[in-house]
């Protein structure tokens, strides 16, 4: 399973504490998929975020000041038929509890599993919400990109990272002014995330050249592929069968 690949204390491909490039991560995940994707029944059923009625839904969690239209998060939302965004009451006033509550409120509106794609302070808010335990099993995977250093946001609330109960990938940068690479690597270890070193990528935002970013979609799809298929109740099945009249 994908979780076995991510967790450093399990067997299989151990990448959670290794510094990976995007290319080597993709190569490893491809071979991990092949290794774990076959069984006596002819193959493990994998989900996909592009498959109607079964896919987890993408939900983005922007950081301080939000993500403008040219940002990779906005681009990523446009790659899917359906996507949602966590909105904050005040994008210029970061506060862990307040922002985590916004994550929880947005996901409470979702009727199927979600994959979260967070950036900067949004990573801290997302992890904080997950660690508060109120999201249940709705979140099936998380992409953390260029998380902000908790030390730079001491006044925003106490952040205490611990191992998450969901698969996650953390992408760091060697030239991120908001978090040194070693700190990003340590945070990945604390959260139990697979770690990807993107190299000289700044804060992995628009000013660093990250508008359209196909690798972000690849990582989101990787998380979605290994998520359990969504389950539907009677009302969902009725809507599905009558969606086109």
Per residue in 73-86, pLDDT (tens digit) is 999 999 999 999 99
3-state secondary structure of 111: coil
3-state secondary structure of 62: coil
The H or E element containing residue 142 is: strand 139-145
d(CA 45, CA 30): 15
Strands, E, within 120-242: which ranges?
139-145, 168-172, 194-197
Strand order in the sheet with 168-172: 83-85, 57-61, 114-119, 139-145, 168-172, 194-197
| Domain range summary for the chain, segments of one domain joined by + | 1-20+56-110+139-151+176-194+209-224
Residue 46, pLDDT score: 42
Residue 5, pLDDT score: 38
The per-residue pLDDT for range 34-93, each reduced to its tens digit, is: 233 333 233 333 445 555 555 799 999 999 998 988 999 999 999 999 999 999 999 999
d(CA 150, CA 153): 5
3-state secondary structure of 185: helix
The per-residue pLDDT for range 133-158, each reduced to its tens digit, is: 988 889 999 999 999 998 887 666 78
168 Cβ contact partners less than 8 Å away, ≥ 6 residues apart: 6, 141, 142, 143, 144, 191, 192, 193, 194, 223
Residue 157, pLDDT score: 75
pLDDT mean across residues, the chain: 78
d(CA 41, CA 101): 43
Here the tokens at position 175 are 């030239």
Using a pLDDT cut of 90, give the percent of the chain over it.
Answer: 60
- For residues 138 and 14, which has the higher predicted lDDT (pLDDT)? 138
Is the per-residue pLDDT at 121 higher than 90?
yes
Mean pLDDT score, 107-132: 95
Residue 158, pLDDT score: 84
Residue 13, pLDDT score: 28
Q: Residue 225: which pLDDT band, with cuts at 50, 70 and 90?
A: confident
144 Cβ contact partners less than 8 Å away, ≥ 6 residues apart: 118, 123, 126, 127, 168, 169, 170, 171, 188, 191, 193
Q: Residue 1: which pLDDT band, with cuts at 50, 70 and 90?
A: very low
């Amino acid at each position: 399973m994908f979780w076995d690949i991510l967790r450093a204390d399990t067997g299989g491909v151990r990448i959670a504490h290794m510094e990976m490039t995007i290319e080597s991560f993709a190569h490893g995940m491809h071979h991990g998929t092949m290794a774990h994707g076959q069984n006596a029944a002819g193959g493990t059923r994998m989900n996909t975020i592009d498959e109607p009625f079964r896919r987890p839904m993408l939900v983005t969690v922007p950081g301080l000041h939000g993500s403008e239209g040219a940002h990779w998060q906005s681009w990523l939302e446009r790659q899917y038929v359906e996507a949602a965004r966590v909105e904050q009451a005040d994008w210029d006033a970061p506060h862990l509890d307040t922002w985590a509550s916004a994550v929880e409120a947005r996901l409470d509106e979702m009727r199927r599993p979600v994959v979260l794609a967070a950036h900067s302070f949004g990573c801290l808010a997302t992890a904080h919400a997950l660690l508060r335990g109120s999201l249940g099993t709705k979140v099936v995977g998380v992409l953390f990109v260029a998380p902000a250093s908790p030390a730079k946001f001491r006044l925003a609330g106490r952040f205490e990272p611990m191992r998450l109960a969901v698969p996650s990938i953390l992408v760091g940068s060697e030239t991120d002014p908001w978090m040194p690479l070693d700190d990003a690597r340590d945070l990945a270890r604390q959260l139990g995330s697979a770690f990807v070193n993107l190299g000289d990528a700044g804060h992995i935002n628009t000013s660093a050249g990250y508008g359209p970013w196909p690798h972000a979609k690849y990582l989101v799809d990787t998380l979605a592929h290994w998520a359990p298929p969504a389950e539907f109740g009677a009302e969902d099945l009725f809507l599905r069968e009558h969606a086109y009249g």
